[in-house]
Amino acid sequence: MPERKKLLLGNWKMNHTIAEAKVFCDSLKETKELAKEKKILIGVCPSYLCLETLKKKAKGIIVGAQDVSAFEKGAYTAQVSIPMLKELGVTWSIIGHSERREYNGETNQGCNAKVKALVKNQMTAVYCVGESLETYEAGKTNEWVGTQIREGLEGLSKEDMDNVVIAYEPIWAIGTGKTATPEIAENVCGFIRDVLKDMFGKGVANKVKILYGGSVKPGNVHELIGQADIDGALVGGASLKAEDFKALVENL
Ligand code: PGA
């Protein structure tokens, strides 16, 4: 089985000004050394405005956007295109975060177009899926997440999947302090791997990184990421302060 390197990715959401991002970068040296020692990939997805600062001041870590347009250019007010990211050397983007789905009406089909546009440009898409509390309580998590995976990744080739990372984030666990138990998270991530096997074959399914996200903290990162099908974490709140970010790397 191919070794899947662990990945710790911060999602800053609408937090941190450029000045605050600089403060974060100033205390990153030890964290980077530690990550290198432990062979963990680390990265941060800040606001668009902070991307350039991070590319310059946080060398050696992944710097990703939180979303990107599926279109190359044109009359799409307030959108940011792939060529704009590329110019900054940014080659990763989160796609389909539940907050984008909820507040900006993103659909699986819309996400599919964005994932396709990214992989076509040899850029990495971190495609987010996850169910609401209602869906979870109705016992329909797999059905929901399975559809998000199938529709969001429809039409991609096996080779395209080299540039796709999946993030499973149950909506009821995001920013709520309610983490899914390692068992719940592992069950769903294992299920996602089965869907990937069905869509792209065993080789691809064994290679793709699947992250867990939702109230990951230094105190619970170890047991969550210790699960067989969980290859890392997408972290919101606990990725904002350099000392918490360091503690996540230490404990992973
Ligand atoms: P949280 O956010 O770690 O603050 O729960 C995770 C996410 O939404 O990516």
Reading the chain (252 residues) residue by residue, the pLDDT tens digits are 567 999 999 999 999 999 999 999 999 999 999 999 999 999 999 999 999 999 999 999 999 999 999 999 999 999 999 999 999 999 999 999 999 999 999 999 999 999 999 999 999 999 999 999 999 999 999 999 999 999 999 999 999 999 999 999 999 998 888 888 999 999 999 999 999 999 999 999 999 999 999 999 999 999 999 899 999 999 999 999 999 999 999 999
Structure tokens, 200 = 């792209």
pLDDT the model gives residue 2: 62
Q: Note whether 26 and 60 are within 8 A (CB).
A: no
Q: CA 162, 90, 26: angle at the middle one, nearest 5?
A: 120
Report which of 133, 134, 14, 136 is spatially closest to residue 66, judged by C-alpha positions: 14
Q: Note whether 105 and 148 are within 8 A (CB).
A: no
In angstroms, the CA 82 to CA 116 distance is 11
Report which of 213, 228, 104 is spatially closest to residue 165, judged by C-alpha positions: 213
Ligand 1 centroid distance, CA of 213 (Å): 6
Determine which one of 16, 97, 99, 106 is catalytic.
Answer: 97
Q: Does the active-site annotation cover 169? A: yes
**Cα dihedral across residues 44, 46, 48, 49: positive or negative:** negative
Atom of ligand 1 nearest to the CA of 235: 3
pLDDT the model gives residue 3: 79
pLDDT the model gives residue 42: 98
Ligand 1 centroid distance, CA of 174 (Å): 5
pLDDT the model gives residue 181: 94
Phi/psi region, residue 124 (left: phi>0; alpha: psi -120 to 50; beta: rest), is: beta
Determine which one of 99, 106, 131, 169 is catalytic.
Answer: 169
* pTM tops 0.85: yes
Q: Does the active-site annotation cover 16? A: no
pLDDT the model gives residue 176: 87
180 secondary structure, DSSP code: P
Report which of 245, 232, 237 is spatially closest to residue 27, judged by C-alpha positions: 245
Q: Note whether 149 and 129 are within 8 A (CB).
A: yes
Instruction: List C-alpha distances in Å: 161 to 34, 170, 179, 200, 221.
Output: 29, 23, 28, 8, 26
